[in-house]
């Protein structure tokens, strides 16, 4: 029996944490969506910069209830998360972490940590997409990877792939890198394969 509000139809939800409009993150996601056309996945993208998401206030209402005490756009976002099978977390690197708006969203995902609500997210798969203006293999980027690892481990979400695009900074610069374009196109065309994958990291 399917749980209420949960579907299994290869639904992908992109959570775009970029603050720069038409920047490298936006370019990557646009290309993924275009490359995924005529495949067996359905993609929905949420641009967090367009949403009103308040900080978590630590009231712990979600420990005993399936509703958050804060009434904002997270209501809509949680509905989309619940319907999705694969989540793509996309954010450029800010101080070896995610952007502020992505961090606020992640803080609000604490809703799913409670025994009341974990059933709505547990078992989903996740992909990380991260452009950055530094090398993707440096020691400090491990801080970001560990951050995501802790997040997904506590939510019982399976991280199936990571895409780090290093040494890009200027707006649209990623569009000039043929190897990155190949990787992005491949990801879009083969998203369906990530519904079957387990713990593969493309760093």
**Window from 49-63, 126-140, 145-159 with minimum mean pLDDT:** 126-140
Look up the pTM and report it. Answer: 0.90
pLDDT score recorded for residue 9: 67
Helix (H, G, I), strand (E, B) or coil at 119: helix
User: What are phi and psi for residue 68, nearest 5 degrees?
Assistant: -80, 150
Say if residue 196 is exposed, middle or buried (CB neighbours under 10 Å; 0-12, 13-18, 19+). Answer: exposed
The confidence band for 196, taking pLDDT boundaries of 50, 70 and 90, is confident
Given a cut of 60, whether residue 4 has pLDDT beyond it is no
CA distance 28 to 187: 10
Q: Domains of the chain, with CATH numbers?
A: 11-195 (3.40.50.360)
pLDDT at residue 169, rounded to an integer:
86
Measured in whole angstroms, how far is the alpha carbon of residue 30 from the centre of its chain? 14
For 11, phi then psi, to 5°, come to -85, 130
pLDDT of residue 138: 74
Q: What is the mean pLDDT of the chain?
A: 90
Specify the 3-state DSSP secondary structure of 11: strand
């Amino acid at each position: 029996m399917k749980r209420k509000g949960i579907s299994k139809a290869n639904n992908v939800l992109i959570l775009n944490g970029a603050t720069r409009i038409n920047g490298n993150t936006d370019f990557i996601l646009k290309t993924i969506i275009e490359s995924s056309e005529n495949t067996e996945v359905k993609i929905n993208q949420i641009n967090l910069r367009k949403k009103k998401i308040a900080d978590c206030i630590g009231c712990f209402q979600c420990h005993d209830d399936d509703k958050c005490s804060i009434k904002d756009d997270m209501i809509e976002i949680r509905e989309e998360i619940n319907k999705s099978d694969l989540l793509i977390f996309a954010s450029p690197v800010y101080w070896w972490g995610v952007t502020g708006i992505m961090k606020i969203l992640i803080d609000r995902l604490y809703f799913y940590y409670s025994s009341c609500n974990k059933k709505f997210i547990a078992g989903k798969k996740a992909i990380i997409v991260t452009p950055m203006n530094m090398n993707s293999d440096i020691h400090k980027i491990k801080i970001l990877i560990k951050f995501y690892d802790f997040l997904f481990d506590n939510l019982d979400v399976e991280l199936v792939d990571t895409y780090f695009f290093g040494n890009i900074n200027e707006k649209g610069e990623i569009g000039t890198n043929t190897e990155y374009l190949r990787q992005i196109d491949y990801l879009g065309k083969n998203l369906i394969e990530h519904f079957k994958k387990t713990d593969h990291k493309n760093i």
